[in-house]
Amino acid sequence: MSEAPILRVDQLSRHFPVRNMFGWTTGAVRALDDVSFEVRPGETLGIVGESGCGKSTLGKTLVGIHRPRGGRIVFEGKDITGQSASERGAAAPKLQYCYQDPGNSLDPRWTVRRSLTEPLIVHTALEPRDRNARIREILQQVGLPPTHLDLYPHELSGGQQRRVGLARILTLHPRLVVLDEPTSGLDVSVQAAVLKLLRRLQHAFSLTYLFMSHDLSVVRMMCDRVAVMYLGRIVEIASTEALFGAAKHPYTQSLLSAIPDIGGRRVTDTFALEGEPPDPSQPPSGCRFRTRCPRAAAVCAKIDPALQPIAPGQSAACLFV
């Protein structure tokens, strides 16, 4: 695991302006604020957090859909900060984003064949015959019969739509795939099938995954390392065993205590976290979690804790760890 990281993110931030009724900028939602991490080739890094914590913004900033306000993105040794997908040239197909809801991200008036062909036309110089061959090969890899090429998205089930969404990305032979909530909205039995497929594809195409999810039990199953986000910040990052075994940040601990543990203690008997995440356009001073934190002290309102290593491979942003 001492290889050079495939992706390095340094103090990345992305703010969205808040405008008043005259269109004047009156503030900013800090969707991403000083986010730094590294991804090693072949690993699966989980990004977990509740809605509005900045997971999707992070993914979209990495692939060039959003331009960052500051910071650096280094992909395979090249600085691609602020470049849109078209400016990235050869790097663009290697870094791909898999949308949360393929039912809405596939064009409803295009057949599966056309949706799968388009990225090849944009990014490669393949002849139509080679394109067809590659599409058929990938379709088989994601477990769909070739007869599905002529169907429209609405004729597919949710699980099949996910498979088409994945196939669409894999035709370009990416190195790193950002998976945005790949199993949200699926039934458990379908979810199991999709997760197994993701694992098989990771081996078959030697992929690196950035796995964004709010479902911690899925993340535990799929990821090598996990980063926990709260209001645009990474509050803790660690290997999966360390995070699920010895979480240090109070937010991570609360998040873990909210997962139902079938056969064990009941969350409804033990869960203690009160309140809801504050408005991201007006985050609290100091530590952002202090308004809900069971361990918050007066000093937390003054000092904004930075992410600090606390054990080998584990860092947390809290004054009391």
Partner 1 sequence: MSSIHGFAVQAPGDNLLEVENLRVSFATEHGVAKVLDGVNLTIRPGEIMGLVGESGCGKTTLANAILGILANNARREAGSIRFAGEDLLTMPRWQAESEIRGRSITFIPQDPFGSFNPLFPIRTQTMEVMKWKSPRRAARDGRGIAGFFSRYPRARRSADAAAVLQMLRTVQISKPEEAFGKLPHEFSGGQRQRLMIALALLPQPELIIADEPTTALDATIQAQILKLLKRLAKERGVSVLFTTHDLGTAYEICDRITVLYAGQEVETAPVDDFFQRPHHPYTVRLLESLPHPGRELREIGGEIPALVDPPAGCRFHPRCFRATEECLSDRPAVTPLGGGHQVRCYHPITGASRL
Residues that bind partner 1 (CB under 8 A): 50-51, 157, 187-193, 195-196, 214-218, 220-221, 244, 254-255, 257-263, 266-268, 271, 273-274, 276
Q: In 127-245, at which residue ranges do the beta strands (DSSP E only) sit?
A: 176-180, 208-213, 225-230, 233-239
Nearest CA-CA partner of 12 in 234, 177, 225: 234
Nearest CA-CA partner of 9 in 212, 210, 223: 210
The residues, any chain, with a CB within 8 Å of residue 111's CB and separated by 6 or more, are: 149, 150, 151, 152
- Residue closer to partner 1 by CB (options 42, 143) is 143
For residue 194, give the H/E element and its range.
Answer: helix 188-204
Q: How far is the CB of 268 from partner 1 (least distance, A)?
A: 4
- Residue closer to partner 1 by CB (options 266, 302) is 266
- Residue closer to partner 1 by CB (options 73, 197) is 197
Q: How far is the CB of 216 from partner 1 (least distance, A)?
A: 7
Q: How far is the CB of 274 from partner 1 (least distance, A)?
A: 8
**Token pair 């960052």: residue:** 68
- Residue closer to partner 1 by CB (options 201, 255) is 255
Q: Give the up-direction half-sphere exposure of residue 111: CA atoms within 13 A in the CB hemisphere.
A: 10
* Residue 260: alpha-carbon gap to chain centroid: 23
Query: What is the rounded distance in angstroms from the CA atom of residue 227 to the CA atom of residue 209?
Result: 13
- Residue closer to partner 1 by CB (options 50, 224) is 50
Vertex 25 angle, CA 23 and 28, to 5°: 135
Give the long-range contacts of residues 261-266, CB within 8 A, separation 24 or more.
none
If you write DSSP's letter for every residue of 81-120 in order, what string do you get?
Answer: TT--GGGGGGGGGGEEEE-S-HHHHS-TTS-HHHHHHHHH
Q: How far is the CB of 12 from partner 1 (least distance, A)?
A: 23
- Residue closer to partner 1 by CB (options 124, 202) is 202
- Give the amino acid at 70: G
- Residue closer to partner 1 by CB (options 75, 289) is 289
For residue 12, give the H/E element and its range.
Answer: strand 7-19
Query: What is the rounded distance in angstroms from the CA atom of residue 225 to the CA atom of residue 44?
Result: 7
Q: How far is the CB of 139 from partner 1 (least distance, A)?
A: 18
Q: How far is the CB of 35 from partner 1 (least distance, A)?
A: 20
Q: How far is the CB of 189 from partner 1 (least distance, A)?
A: 4
Q: How far is the CB of 226 from partner 1 (least distance, A)?
A: 13
- Residue closer to partner 1 by CB (options 275, 312) is 275
